[in-house]
Amino acid sequence: MSGAALIARQSSSRTATGQPVGSLSWRFQQALKSPVPYLGLLGILLFGIFWFLTTEYLKLPRFEKLPGPIEVWTEFTSRDPTYGTSMYTPEYYKHIAWSSLRVLIAFGLATVLGVPLGLFMGWKRTFKDYTFPIIEVLRPIPVLAWVPLAILMMPGREAPIIFLAFLAAFFATTLNAMLGVESIDESYFRAARCLGSSPWQIFKRVVVPGAMPDVFTGLQIGVGVAWFSLVAAEMVSGEHGLGFLIWDSYVLSQYPVIVIAMVTLGLVGYVYSAIIRAVGRMLMGWTARTQA
């Protein structure tokens, strides 16, 4: 290929501003050109107005005790917050860090243990026959029902909290990985066998990539329920973290802080999901692309 042709080919996959097509900033720019983000912002704005009207303006019965958006925002952006928690206080970030770290450990364990277990269950019928019934019985037990046992079983203060978050995520990652393998069409296994694959190669090159879309669905659900159970666990037996902050603020009647912590949970949870989605997209280029 001549130099000129090479340059022409490269430039075709770049935008006028020189960013490669498909990069994060390129996708961001594309998104801003569509109405989607603006509609989303409008939705959030409408919700904010509703919140303001019910709590601060109309002061409807049962709503008047709730902190309104202006009160929450003032508290959050204050350098000297009335209740001691705002974007300027290190306390706020310490709570986020505690919760994030716990979820990271719990979710990490659920991934490292659950995904291989689920893949293996989906792959080996007999193994599934042993393990599936016990998992199916344990799974519907609400995580909160585990609280006493978790405290009895696990040493210290941290372990029970992480255990509860782990447990919830573990079932999601395991079962989705298993379903992922089971959804792989039999013809791929047949083809792999007839092309001379060893069992290990079938696992590596067919089972793992074939189950990947469902594995990532499981991770998304897993990280969601990990946050969910974490907050519950922190409310019961924590001394840091966003769940603890919510409960503590309730007990001390510091209502705006509750909302600050809630919104923070929403945002942090969103970031976690977004990271998993991005990793999934990176690993599974083949699912996103359509007919050329």
Identified binder of another protein from the candidate list 69, 84, 116, 209, rule CB under 8 A? 209
Cβ 178 vs Cβ 118: under 8 Å: yes
What are the tokens at 202?
């079938």
> How far is the CA of 263 from the CAs of 248, 254, 282, in angstroms?
16, 15, 29
Rounded distance, CA 48 to CA 44, Å? 6
Identified binder of another protein from the candidate list 134, 194, 251, 282, rule CB under 8 A? 194
Residues 6+ apart with CB under 8 A from 7: none
Radius of gyration of the chain (CA): 24
Rounded distance, CA 235 to CA 82, Å? 23
Residues composing the chain = 292
Residues 266-285 contacting another protein, CB under 8 A: 284-285
Residue (24 or 288) nearer to another protein, CB = 288
Residue with tokens 């006028």: 16
Task: Please state the closest distance from residue 257 (CB atom) to another protein, in A.
Answer: 47
Residue (6 or 149) nearer to another protein, CB = 6
193 binds another protein (CB under 8 A): yes
Identified binder of another protein from the candidate list 198, 239, 266, 270, rule CB under 8 A? 198
Identified binder of another protein from the candidate list 15, 74, 197, 237, rule CB under 8 A? 197
Q: Near another protein by CB under 8 A, which window of 20-28, 112-120, 168-176, 203-211?
A: 203-211
182 binds another protein (CB under 8 A): no
Provide the mask over 142-181, with x wherever binding to another protein is found by CB under 8 A and - wherever it is not: ----------------------------------------
Residues 6+ apart with CB under 8 A from 162: 102, 105, 106, 109
Task: Please state the closest distance from residue 286 (CB atom) to another protein, in A.
Answer: 4
Rounded distance, CA 117 to CA 127, Å? 10
Identified binder of another protein from the candidate list 132, 188, 203, 228, rule CB under 8 A? 188
By CB under 8 A, how many residues form the interface with another protein?
A: 26
* Residues at the site binding another protein, with contacts judged by CB under 8 A: 185, 187-188, 190-198, 201, 205-206, 209-210, 212, 284-287, 289-292
